Amino acid sequence: MSTLQRQLIAPFSHLVGQEKAKLFLGRALASGQLAHAYLFRGPDGVGKQLFARSLAAAVNCRQRQALLPAAGESDWASLPCGHCSSCLKYSSGNQPDFMVISPEKGTIKIDRIREMIQALSYPPYESPSRVVLIEDIHTMRPEAANCLLKTLEEPPDKNLLILTASASRDILTTISSRCQMIPFFSLRQEETVQVLMRVNPELEAETASLLARLSEGCPGQALILYRREMIAIWRQVVALVSDPQKDSNRDVGLLLQAAETMATLKEELLPLFGLLRIWLRDLLVAGFSGQTGQDRDTLDGGLPEIKQKRWNSRQLFDKLQAIDQAEKELGRNCNRNLVCEVLLFQLQQ
């Protein structure tokens, strides 16, 4: 992620999804009654970092300062304003009263925590409050966490701490019990598409829809898949296994080639399986509802050029099970190439 992206901020009204978090934090901003430490916890890629940076900017936004102490219930929606002197510094990464601590080589270093504690012993440089963002605190080792506890429980006056953590990873209760927890959730399909199209205006609607489904409502994850051209590989595989026109001799060579490509995927292989699963489930649902390939509003709506084989529901269930089996075998460190070959032959039958 570039520095510019990492510093991106947006008014609360522009942030997509997380309505409860917005309402809760917005009211706290408007009333001037912010907690001393927040923990944003939720799935990866749902916007925790953007929310954290936007909250940090909103705290010191000149527009908010002008509204306090009598800000109205709805005034928070326009914060941070994005154009006052403080917001401009946040956007450009030059806000002296905003500190970010991120994992280095997979973990938050204790030295960074010590430096932060030292910095907090001085008043903010130019803003009403200093904001410290500690990202991915699930990567923090116990010694660094212990070093943080006292500051987290009672930060010096005019300091706000915002911590983020993945929902799927454990965090020490000594950390979570000292913060106000703000849960984050996966976005709805249409919200995910909205974020993807906003970030990548050139993205085709069908591809955005596919990515949204595959990422299960986590736009950050969807963007990673997009950059790695997962959708292109998925389309190739679907075209190969579902086209009834090809002759069998040529098919074998193409399948082996596709299996080899799949096997070279690293952490993207399981998401590819996820995409194939969604595609097969869509075919299953379409079969039960009596829809044809032409009137389906499903994943293969992104594949108008492909003629689908006609599989019955039993065959489709078998293919879904074949994917489950392939996933299990990968988990047991079986030969990736072989697992992919077997899977493709089963999908093609």
Residues that bind Zn ion (CB under 5 A): 61, 63, 80-81, 84, 87
Distances (CA, A) of 9 to 73, 86, 91: 21, 12, 6
Closer residue to Zn ion (CB): 55 or 145: 55
Q: Tell me whether strands 130-134 and 98-101 are parallel, antiparallel or unpaired.
A: parallel
Q: Output the smallest distance, CB 198 to Zn ion, in A.
A: 21
> If phi over 0 gives left and psi between -120 and 50 gives alpha, with beta otherwise, what is residue 136?
left
Closer residue to Zn ion (CB): 47 or 80: 80
Closer residue to Zn ion (CB): 66 or 334: 66
Q: Output the smallest distance, CB 84 to Zn ion, in A.
A: 3
Q: Output the smallest distance, CB 155 to Zn ion, in A.
A: 23
Closer residue to Zn ion (CB): 63 or 207: 63
Q: Output the smallest distance, CB 55 to Zn ion, in A.
A: 13
Distance CA 149, CA 169 (A): 19
Closer residue to Zn ion (CB): 29 or 303: 29
For residue 199, give both structure tokens: 């970030």
Q: Output the smallest distance, CB 90 to Zn ion, in A.
A: 8
Q: Output the smallest distance, CB 85 to Zn ion, in A.
A: 8
Q: Output the smallest distance, CB 144 to Zn ion, in A.
A: 33
Closer residue to Zn ion (CB): 45 or 82: 82
Closer residue to Zn ion (CB): 87 or 212: 87
Q: Output the smallest distance, CB 51 to Zn ion, in A.
A: 16
Closer residue to Zn ion (CB): 59 or 87: 87
